[in-house]
Structures are given as structure tokens and as C-alpha cells.
Amino acid sequence: MVTQPTPGTVATAPWPRTSAATPPGRPSPHGGDGRSVAIVGAGPGGLATAMLLAHAGWQVTVYEAHATVGGRTRQLEVGPYRFDCGPTFFMMPWVLEEIFEATGRKLADYAELRRLDPMYRLLIGQPTGDPVVIDTTQDIARMSRQLSAIEPSDGPAFERFIRDNRRKLEVMTPLLRRPIRGLRDLFSLDAMRAGPALRPWQSLYDHLKGYFRHEGVRLAMSFQSKYLGMSPFECPELFSILPFIEYEYGIWHPIGGCSALMRAMADACTEMGVEVRCGEPVEQVLFQGKRASGVRVAGRHERHDHVVVNADAAWALKNLVPSEVRPRALKDDALDAKRFSCSTFMMYLGIEGTVDLPHHTIYTSRSYVRNLQDISRNGTLSDDPSTYVCNPSRIDPTLAPPGHSSLYVLVPTPNNKKGECQVDWHWARGELRERTLRQLEDVFGIRDIRSRIRAEHLVTPADWQSERIAHGATFNMAHNLGQMLHRRPHHRVQGMDNLWLVGGGTHPGSGLPVIFLSAEITSRLMCAEEGLPDPVGAGATGLRAATTA
């Protein structure tokens, strides 16, 4: 078990980097036979898979539609300001560390991480009066005292919650690290060990009623369901491990943003001889019968032995895989019938001066239940939506000019699914902008924000949809019980040969750490099919400490 650094200190070393890994152009120590693989998308799952397969001896080509790597985790530049396009929370860094270690490298040689304390500030909206303010911390005793000040019994309940979920994550970890292809996998010894810790009939919110009395504290321990694009009233209770992971292992900021991790993986890929082709969107996956045989890019047929799809799963299956080769469960109507996550309205703001907010600040609506219903059922916009603000310039000078701030603002919204969304995003764009700016002033306390804006970029669900994301649902398919485990699209796509999935659309689901886990699973399955050694290593089976000091 490795130790954690003091909160706020540098956790890994910056450039220049060195590596003991196999130099480019030399045979892998695994002795791969040169099997060729196309990876569609240079997002986190695609790049992690490319690293593992390249080290195992595969010939890897990554095709990326955007001009830069990262997918939804790419860097967005607006004038002199830089932003993470999508994910800003980075947790469980040991998963990415073990991928680097599997290739003979150290993440510390490629990226610099800083642990946050407070992890984030919560503003829990109340029907009347000011929000309840909680500065969350890994100091369990201090966190317990904060919650006891809100409701005396909730502090001790928090400590019990942490103990219970420590065991819960321990028994669930084998399920997160393995493919779940059907009932046979669910009746494994590991699955039976996990069974007593799970209550699949119970929502996350109902589960938390067994611990916490105060409504605001329950919301503080359940808003993390938004990482999956879901409501805590519908999200399965097994996802109580999400807040536990934060308090147990911390939240980290990579200097340069989460997109810096994508560039780190791309650099490692290049060192191993991976060809990363940006600005080359795949137009179709090619088949010989039911076997994937390559991809079509700009009218060219690029032949490969295997194809890994890291694009949005529902969009890619509908648009890149011909209907005639797909089984009934993956036809267009079956995919459209699935439930999808919420979407988001984004504001990327370059601000003159500093902003007096922590790194992460989350506001939950005064009418939280109504806000969730508007998003997931009504397909409409709320007057007082929940909102998230990331203010990384406080500790990261790489993202804005001196004396300025890069501000990332996210408002959960309905997705753009036809027949369910009631919003005209072209009309709503301006209204959402004004409504959000008022919130930034009145709720988040950012003074004179309009007069301080020096750069601005807005994104609506319609914009997300135009980026080849099904229905603009930025968190992929929903993670309800009917779409989890073996009921999500499989790593080895059903009914076809040599076609694979990686990323949030397959098991274990959305979020950077579990997307990296999906890359490990897909890579292991592919190497096993080709008779190659495990590309991750036998040691990557259980829990590890948060990061290397």
C-alpha cells in the first residue's frame, strides 16, 4: 500500500520524462505477432487500450475525428484561455498508474497531479433561506463534525457509511475489473460474495435514508449520481461507492486539466509506435461476413485484423456498423429504445481577475426533485437548476494568462432525444446563458462577472449531438438496472467477430476511472483471443492506494 502525499502537494513529477519501456520500433517483450488493430476514437478508453495493446505487440492505429486527442476529455482553447471540454474530476488515479506501469512507464514522468482539500464545496439549496454550505474533506473526523453541526446524528452516520462502503467496494472490485457477459458471470464466486452488500431493488437516495436524517446531507452523498447523468432517486444503490471513493482516495487535479492525461497517454502511445491520426473521422467499420476487417476513412479502406470502437457506443453502432451485420438487440430501434443519460449546457468563460471560489463548487437546486424531473421526465428547463463551477486557475497557472481565470460552468439539462425533449436549443441558448450568469452572481457570489468576461464559448445538447454523441447524452446510456453489467453493450460486440467496445458505453460504465478499467478488460479479452499474455498483469486485481508519492 503506497502512501498519499499531504493535501495540496505535488503527487507526481513534472517533465522532462524518462522511461524504461520498450523503445519505439523494437519488438515487445510479450512477443506479439503483429496483429493489426484500428481504434476508433482517441478518448481515454481508446488511448489506454492503444497503450496496452501496443506494448503487447499489436500494430495499433488510432483514428480520431477531432484535430486533437482526448474526445470529450480534450482541451478546448478559446483565445488565450484553456479548458477541459468534459471531465474535470479525476479520481482513482491508481487505475491509470497501473496502465502506465504495465507498459514499463510511470505516470509521474508524464503528468503532475495535485490532491484537493477541500475536495469541493457543496451549496445545498434550501426552499427558503441560504444554501447549506459543506466544504468536503478526506479528514473523516472533520467531515463528521461538519455534518453533526447540520444534524447531530449524521456525523456518526457518515463514519458508519464510510466503513460499510469500504467493504462494499472491496467485494465489488472484481466485478468492475471483469467482463460481465451473461448470467454465468453473475453467478461467479466473486459475484456471490458481492451479493450481500447490494440491494438492487433500492435507489441510491432510499439507501441513504438508512444513514442520514437531514435532506441536505442525503443530497451531499448522492449528487455524485450526476457523474453518471442520473437522478439519485433512480440510480441504483450500489453507486454509493462513488462518494466513498472520493472520501477514501481523494480528488485530484492534473496540471493542465484532465486533458493533460490524454496528452500523456498519446505521448506514451507515440513512443511505442502507435500511429495516432487526428482529424480523420471513421466513416464505417468494414466487414467480411460477420467479421470486422477494417475501417473506411475519407473514402479509403484501411484493413485491420480487429476494430475497437471508442466512439459513443449507441451512435457508433447505429452509424458505423452496417445494420445487416448487427443482431436484433443492436438494431436502430432497439438502441433508440434504451434510456440515455442527461445532457449538459456548458459555459467556458475567460475571466479577467481572480474568482473567489474553490476548485470545484456544486450547487443543488432549491427545488431539487422538480429539477431532476424536468431533466429526466419532463424534458424542460428549470428556473433554478443545479449548477457546477470549476475554477482551476487558483492552483493551475497553465490555463489562463497571468491575473485571469478560466471558468468552467456545467448545467445538467434534458438530452436531445426526439419525442422526449421539449426544448428548442437554438432559442434556449441565450436564455440559458442569462439564467446561468444570474446564478453565478447571486448564488456563487461572483461579482461583476458580465463585465469581466474576455472570452466565451457555449455548448448545448444540440452541439453535443453534432459531435457524434447519441441524443447529445454526454454521459452515454443511462446506468439503470436494465442497462448495467451484462445488459450494457459487451466489450466483444455481440453477434460479430473482431469488433470490440471500450469506454462509457460498455461495462463498467461512465467516468474516467471506470473507462480505464474498461480498457483493461477489452485489452485482456483481445490478447486472450490471440493467445497473448495478459497485457495488464496479474497484480491488477484489487484495490490500491490513491497514488504514488
Residue in this structure with the C-alpha cell 467493504, named with its chain if needed? 167
pLDDT digits (tens, 9 = 90+) for 110-158: 999 999 999 999 999 999 999 999 999 999 999 999 999 999 999 999 9
Place of cell 461507492: 241
**Res 104 pLDDT > 90:** yes
Is the Cβ–Cβ distance between 9 and 278 less than 8 Å? no
CB 380 within 8 A of CB 374: yes
Contact criterion met (CB below 8 Å) for 311 and 284: no
From 3.40.190.10, 3.90.320.10, 3.30.70.3270, 3.50.50.60, which CATH number describes the 36-115+254-337+476-529 domain? 3.50.50.60
Q: In this predicted model, what pLDDT tens digit does every residue of 42-61 receive, in sequence order? A: 999 999 999 999 999 999 99
Q: What is the mean pLDDT of the chain?
A: 87
Distance CA 249, CA 138 (A): 8
Omega prior to 118 cis, within 30 of 0:
yes
Delimiting residues of CATH 1.10.405 domain(s) in the chain: 139-249
Rounded CA separation 284/364 (Å): 42
The Cβ of residue 30 has, within 10 Å, a number of other Cβ atoms equal to 15
Torsion angle, CA of 92/94/100/101, rounded to 10 degrees? -170
**509 DSSP assignment:** -
Please give the model's pTM, rounded to 2 decimal places: 0.89
pLDDT tens column, 152-205: 999 999 999 999 999 888 877 776 776 666 556 555 545 545 554 556 667 888
What is residue 549's predicted lDDT score, i.e. its pLDDT?
27
Model confidence over 317-346: pLDDT tens digits?
Answer: 999 999 999 999 999 999 999 989 999 999
Nearest to 113 by CA among 91, 137, 133: 91
CA distance readout (Å), 424 to 387, 431, 477, 478: 20, 11, 22, 23
Residue ranges of E strands in 221-290? 252-254, 275-278, 282-288
Give the pLDDT confidence score for residue 9 in this predicted structure: 34
> Cell numbers 452541439 correspond to what residue?
463
Count of alpha carbons within 13 Å of 47, Cβ hemisphere only?
30
pLDDT reading at 105 higher than 90: yes
Query: 19-23, 261-265, 308-312, 495-499: which range is least confident on average?
Result: 19-23
Give pLDDT, residue 31: 40
Give Cβ neighbours of residue 517 (< 8 Å, ≥ 6 apart).
95, 176, 177, 508
Question: What pLDDT score does 191 carry?
Answer: 52
State the Cα–Cα distance between residues 15 and 26, nearest whole angstrom: 24
* % of the chain residues with pLDDT over 90: 73
Does 527 score more than 90 pLDDT? yes
Scored b (16 or more CB within 10 A) or e, 246-266 reads bbbbbbbbbbbbbbbbbbbbb
Q: For domain 139-249, which architecture applies?
A: Orthogonal Bundle (1.10)
CA–CA separation, 92 and 514 (whole Å): 9
Q: Please say whether the beta carbons of 320 and 284 come within 8 A.
A: yes
Peptide bond into 16 cis (omega under 30): yes
pLDDT of 211 strictly over 60: yes
pLDDT in tens, 471-484: 999 998 876 666 55
* CATH code 3.50.50.60 region(s) in the chain: 36-115+254-337+476-529
